[in-house]
Amino acid sequence: MSRILTRRNFLIGSTLGISATALTGCDLLDQNAGIAEVLKSAERLTMKGQRLLQGRNALAREFAETDISPSFRVNGTSAPDSEEYAALSEAKFANWRLKVEGLVERPQELSLADLKTLPARTQITRHDCVEGWSAIGKWTGVPLANVLALSGLKSTARYLVFHCADELEKTLDGSGRYYESIDLVDAFHPQTMLAYQMNGQDLSVGHGAPLRLRVERQLGYKQAKYLMRIEAVDSFAGLWGGNGGYWEDRGYEWYAGI
């Protein structure tokens, strides 16, 4: 009997003990690099699983005009805080040029007018923020594939990096500058576009004027605003924090399909 009691006490005691320390323990575990790596392994599984289910070209749902959200929240930067951007905005982006460079065959410098002469696409899609909210908007722009057809890609190119005009965090080294990256599967997806219009109007400053990225099968933070430069790379390890994006450098998943 005493043996059973001891074992019982041990089991109950250890269960309670583990539960009590679990919560504070998580904060410590969270800061442990090894544990963080184990937890992050789920991201690769998620990406592989989703890509397997999707195939290359499964489309995000497109909605009707009547489904458009009455208000679309401005998130992240509401206006880039630089003299350079202010000057561009002042001139209604007539002097703005989108640079396409890096591992491309023919580097480009495209004006807004140049982009608007390329075949366009309009889609009404749901924008899902990582925080949990959603808004539906109508986007008009150039499919990224059409721009990449102009520049061509070298065979070593694996990712496209989008450099933006906004600094979400003020830092001395510029590491607070917004940037994002996608792989070639998403780059050539039919709904992936460089949007210059939202809900039938030129993009407002709040929503990323003059040009923003739409990657419809991923979360809001991939939809980089205030595009200045697209760089084709074979790896984003050398850029800023090395994780392929502003939020990725701050702990968020590079593959934001979930």
Residue number with CB closer to other proteins (43 or 101): 43
Residue number with CB closer to other proteins (55 or 172): 55
- For position 204 contacting other proteins by CB under 8 A, the verdict is no
Binding pattern for the stretch 20-59 against other proteins, x by CB under 8 A and - elsewhere: --xxx-xx--x-----x-xxxxxx-xx---x--xxx--xx
The pair of three-digit structure tokens given for residue 230, joined into one six-digit string: 């697209």
- For position 188 contacting other proteins by CB under 8 A, the verdict is no
Residue number with CB closer to other proteins (80 or 257): 257
Among 34, 70, 119, 238, binds other proteins (CB under 8 A): 70
Which range, of 66-74, 96-104, 167-175, 231-239, touches other proteins by CB under 8 A? 66-74
The distance of closest approach from Cβ of residue 195 to other proteins in the complex, given in angstroms and rounded to an integer, is 16
198 contacts: CB under 8 Å, gap ≥ 6 = 72, 137, 138, 139, 140, 204, 207
Query: What is the C-alpha separation between 147 and 116, in angstroms, rounded?
Result: 11
The distance of closest approach from Cβ of residue 81 to other proteins in the complex, given in angstroms and rounded to an integer, is 23
For residues 164 and 178, is the Cβ–Cβ distance under 8 A?
yes
Query: What is the C-alpha separation between 98 and 230, in angstroms, rounded?
Result: 7
- Contacts to other proteins from residues 121-160, by CB under 8 A: 126, 128-136
H-assigned helices in the chain:
2-30, 33-54, 83-90, 112-117, 144-151, 184-187
Query: What is the C-alpha separation between 59 and 7, in angstroms, rounded?
Result: 57
- For position 67 contacting other proteins by CB under 8 A, the verdict is yes
Query: What is the C-alpha separation between 124 and 60, in angstroms, rounded?
Result: 10
The distance of closest approach from Cβ of residue 117 to other proteins in the complex, given in angstroms and rounded to an integer, is 30
Amino acid letter, 251? G
Query: What is the C-alpha separation between 33 and 19, in angstroms, rounded?
Result: 23
Residues that bind other proteins (CB under 8 A): 8, 11-12, 22-24, 26-27, 30, 36, 38-43, 45-46, 50, 53-55, 58-61, 63, 67, 69-73, 126, 128-136, 216-219, 247, 250-253, 257-258
